[in-house]
Amino acid sequence: MFAIVKTGGKQYKVQEGAILKVEKLEAEGTVTFNEVLLTDDGKETVVGKPTVAGVTVTADVVTNGRAKKIRVVHFKNKTRFQKTYGHRQPFTQVKVKKIEVK
């Protein structure tokens, strides 16, 4: 069984036991995702309008961290303008515990 979950403006495909990195969540311990867009149990696929009613995904927070640094460069031709800076996006790593259909 798998589900499509929306969190942090992005959509993730989750299965029980899967570990994934999502946008930073202000949570410790257990997280519940209520915005489930699709579920599939191998026999039947249920697509929400916009979400599937009565389905929640429970996950444990493994760690909070920051991704590798990316370099951002702004450059304008012929004017000797150049600006460089870096960015590290914060994330929360979660382990999906249960997909619950009520």
pLDDT at position 21, please?
97
- 3-class secondary structure, 32: strand
pLDDT at position 57, please?
97
- Residue 38 pLDDT class (50, 70, 90 cuts): very high
Domain for residue 57, yes or no?
yes
Comparing C-alpha atoms, which of 58, 15, 18 is closest to residue 39? 15
- List phi, psi (to 5°) of 18: -75, 145
Q: Which domain holds residue 30?
A: 2-64+91-101
pLDDT at position 102, please?
85
- 3-class secondary structure, 8: coil
Domain for residue 16, yes or no?
yes
Domain count, the chain: 1
Summarize pLDDT for 45-94 with one digit per residue, the tens.
Answer: 999 999 999 999 999 999 999 999 999 999 999 999 999 999 999 999 99
**Lookup: tokens for 21:** 């990195």
Domain for residue 23, yes or no?
yes
pLDDT at 16 over 90: yes
pTM: 0.84
Domain for residue 73, yes or no?
no
**Which residues contact residue 44 at a Cβ distance below 8 angstroms, ignoring those fewer than 6 apart?**
none
